[in-house]
Structure 1
Amino acid sequence: MRQLLNVISDRGSKYAVSGAAVRDRAAVDDFLKELKRNKKFAKATHNSWAVDFSEAGPLKGDDGEAGAGQVILRMLEREELRDHVIVVTRWYGGKHLGGDRFRHVQDCVRAYLEGA
């Protein structure tokens, strides 16, 4: 598991990104479970994620942040990164970010991919 904490802070909201190689949906569930063992991540407002499996194809989860999983998935597909889950975590800061939240998700994924 690789994590980048405090990637972005905007109007009180904070973002982090995590990821790992996975082989199937059960491995994604295990990864999310392991991530949420850390109380900080368990208390996060959203843990949005996506993966593009070589065999089974794409899978995503918004965790209440509508559209965030699709943003992550699109970036994974563009990079042709298969069998690797990326999770963008957001702690809501009390102010709506509008469309900026999608830019922040993209920036988190980009930071993760550049460090990979």
Structure 2
Amino acid sequence: MRIKELKMTNQFLTIAHSGTHEFEIKKSKFIANVKRVNNEAEAKLFIEEISATHKKANHNCFAYLIGENDNIQRESDNGEPSGTAGVPILEVLKNNQLHDTIIVVTRYFGGIKLGAGGLIRAYSNSASQVIESVGIVEKLLQTQVVLTVVYSLNDKLQYYLKENGFQISKVDYGSEVKITTAALTSELENFKTNITNLLAGKVNIKTKDERYFEVPYHK
């Protein structure tokens, strides 16, 4: 079952950080490496690096998804029977809805054949386990907002922001109070309306830059 659908333009999932996970099955060693990539050139370079590190391995299979709508999808069995390595890795990425992510699974053959079904399970499990080991984050597109109020409304506004999970990044005390926070871009208009209603219109709202914030994600 896939996790909840996310719109890439406002929020999306990716790995928390790069990592490696290793396990053995029937004397074959599987080493999975995962990394964030911004473009296909980075993905190809990562494959080259892993292949050079494990140049004595029997196989360095991979899959990656890149682009706002996963425009670039690639997978390779790298000598394993067709459909037994690259596709299972790719399916793990898709099922976890990870974006801009590559996984390379290296196999050192142990002398015991696993069969097509065994290979599919091994590569799928290897990809799943490396993702679990590094964790998943949700990247949220937020817009920075500067709220300006008179001093008598400062406590009320800050209390509302903190109680509703909005992080206050800066407070400037001058002739009035300027509070810098951020709201989900997709919810920006609702945020502005709620703040305006809360303070009976006695607030100046200015929007600034958009950027992605990362928060831990749990299925």
Q: For the superposition of Structure 1 and Structure 2, which TM-score range results when normalised by the shorter chain? A: 0.7 to 0.9
Q: Aligned to 1:113, which of 119, 122, 131?
A: 131
Q: How far apart in 1 are the matches of 2:74 and 2:37? A: 12
Higher helix proportion (structure 1 or 2): 1
Deviations 1:33-76 (A, max 9, x none): 222332xx111111111011124331111111221111111111
Secondary structure of 1:95's partner? Answer: coil
Q: What one-letter code is carried by the residue in structure 1 that aligns with 2:43?
A: V
Question: Are the structure 2 counterparts of residues 115 and 10 from structure 1 closer, same or farther at C-alpha, using a change threshold of 3 Å?
Answer: closer
Q: Aligned to 1:19, which of 34, 41, 46?
A: 34
Q: Aligned to 1:52, which of 37, 45, 65?
A: 65
Q: What one-letter code is carried by the residue in structure 2 that aligns with 1:54?
A: G
Q: How far apart in 1 are the matches of 2:47 and 2:64? A: 12
The alignment yields a C-alpha RMSD, in angstroms, of 1.4
What is the CA distance between 1:15 and its match in structure 2?
A: 0.7
Report the TM-score, using the length of structure 2 for normalisation.
0.48
Q: How far apart in 2 are the matches of 1:36 and 1:77? A: 24
**Greater relative contact order (Cα 8 A, min sep 6): structure 1 or 2?**
1
Q: How far apart in 1 are the matches of 2:103 and 2:128? A: 11
Q: How far apart in 2 are the matches of 1:22 and 1:100? A: 29
* Higher Rg: 2
Provide the residue aligned with 2:43 in structure 1.
28
Deviations 1:14-37 (A, max 9, x none): 111001111222111110122233
CA contact (8 A) 2:62 2:105 kept: yes
Secondary structure of 2:31's partner? Answer: strand
Bigger mean CA deviation after superposition, 98-107 or 48-57: 48-57
State the number of aligned residues: 112
Q: How far apart in 1 are the matches of 2:88 and 2:125? A: 11
Q: How far apart in 2 are the matches of 1:112 and 1:35? A: 15
Q: Aligned to 2:55, which of 30, 42, 46?
A: 42
What is the CA distance between 1:12 and its match in structure 2?
A: 2.2
Q: How far apart in 1 are the matches of 2:56 and 2:40? A: 23
Deviations 1:56-115 (A, max 9, x none): 331111111221111111111111101110011111112211111111111111111111
Provide the residue aligned with 1:10 in structure 2.
25
Report the TM-score, using the length of structure 1 for normalisation.
0.87
Q: How far apart in 2 are the matches of 1:79 and 1:46? A: 24
